[in-house]
Amino acid sequence: MGVFEMPEFDRHEEIVFHQDAGTGLRAIVAIHSTLLGPAAGGCRMWAYLSSSDAVSDVLRLSRGMSYKNAMANLAFGGGKAVIIADPKRPKTPELFEAYGRFVNSFGGRYITAEDVGTTTADMENVARQTRYVSGLARHAGDVGGDPGPKTALGVYLGLKAAVKFRLGRPDLQDLRVAVQGVGGVGYHLCRLLAQDGARLIVADVRAAATERAAEEWGAVVVAAQDIIHQDADVFAPCALGAILDAQSIPRLRAKVVAGAANNQLTLDRDGLALHSAGVLYAPDYVINAGGIINVFHEYHGVSSEAQVQAAIAGIPARLTDIFERSRRENRPTNAVADELARARIEVGHSRLVA
C-alpha cells in the first residue's frame, strides 16, 4: 500500500524520509498543515517493528498536532517526526545533530521538540544544528525546558473538568484513578492527583517507575496489561496510543477516560463505542495541549510563567464545551472535537489571508 492510500493519510502537505549513514539516523517528518503557522510537533524515537508502522504513526501524530494547536488557539500548524530506533545502537549526540540538520532543511516549516523516547538533552544536541527546535531552557528563569510537567498540568485540570461533568464530583478526594504510564507526564500527573486526595492505581513497563509511585503516594501497582480494566472511576492513559479498541472498551470499567497519551482511540469509531457505553472521553489532543502551549510561548520568547499557566488553564473550558455539545447532539466527543478543530483551522486561515 502506498502512502497516499494509507487510512492515516489526511491530505498531508509533506512527508520526508531521511537517512544519515554515519550516525545510523533513520527519520521521517510529516507536515500535516501549515495553514495556521509553521508545523510544530515533537520527535518520537521508537523501535518500530516496520517502516510502515513508523509511517502510520507519524501520519496520525502530525494530524493530531494540527488539531491540538488549532484547539489551543496557537499560531502553529501540525507536524511530527519519528526516529526509527535501533535497539542495538544507543542514542548519541551525533545522531541528534544529524536530526537537527534534517530539521533545518525545512527552513522553518517544521519546528521540533521532545516526545516519547527523546529528552531535553537530545533537543540541546538538535539545537546545535538548527534554531527550529523548542523544549529548551533558553534563558535562566524563562519559560521552556521539559514540556512534560505542563502537559501533566493540563491533563490534571481537564480530568477534574471531566469528573465534574460525568460524575458530578466537585473534587478528587478518594477518586480512583488508574494511570497507565508513570513517565515524564504520568509521574507529574500522579503527583497532582495525589495532592488532591485521589487513590492511584498505576502500571508501567518499568518497575522502578511504579515502585516510586507506590513509595511516594501509596499507589497500587498492577501489571501493564491489566491497568485498563481496573475498577476505577477514571482511566488516564499516559503511555502510547491505540489502546482503546473493540477488545478493550467492553472491559473498561471507568466512566471517564482522561489522559495524556496521543491517539488513544485505535479507530475513530472507537469514540462511538465509548459514547454508547456511557464513558466520557476527553479528546486527547485537547486535554494534553499543555506541553505544546509551553513550547509555543517558549519558542516566541515573549511570555512569563504566569502567562503560560493562564493559557493552560483554558483547557477545562474547551473540554466542557465539547462535553456539552456531545450531550446535546448525542454525538461522540472525538467527532465533536474533530469538527471544531477543522473549523478553527479554516477560520484561522481565512483571517490570515484576508
Is residue 80 annotated as part of the catalytic site, yes or no? Answer: yes
DSSP-derived 3-state class of residue 83: strand
Pairwise CA distance, residues 354 & 348, whole Å: 10
Q: Say which DSSP state 10 is in.
A: -
**What would you report as the CA-atom Rg of the chain, rounded to the nearest whole angstrom?**
19
pLDDT in the model for residue 304: 84
103-144 pLDDT per residue, tens: 999 999 999 999 989 999 999 999 999 999 998 865 444 566
Domains 9-65+77-126 and 148-288+317-342 share a fold: yes
pLDDT of residue 339: 97
Measured CA to CA, the distance from residue 178 to residue 18 in angstroms comes to 39
CB-count burial class (<10 Å; 0-12, 13-18, 19+) for 89: exposed
User: Which position among 68, 80, 150, 160 bears the catalytic label?
Assistant: 80
User: Could you read off the pLDDT of 37-56 as tens digits, one per residue?
Assistant: 999 999 999 999 999 999 99
Question: How much of the chain exceeds pLDDT 90, in percent?
Answer: 85
Share of the chain above pLDDT 70, in %: 95
pLDDT at site 287? 98
Provide the residue ranges of all domains of the chain, joining segments of one domain with +.
9-65+77-126, 148-288+317-342
148-288+317-342 CATH fold: Rossmann fold (3.40.50)
CATH of 9-65+77-126, one of 3.10.180.10, 3.40.50.10860, 2.20.25.90, 3.40.50.720: 3.40.50.10860
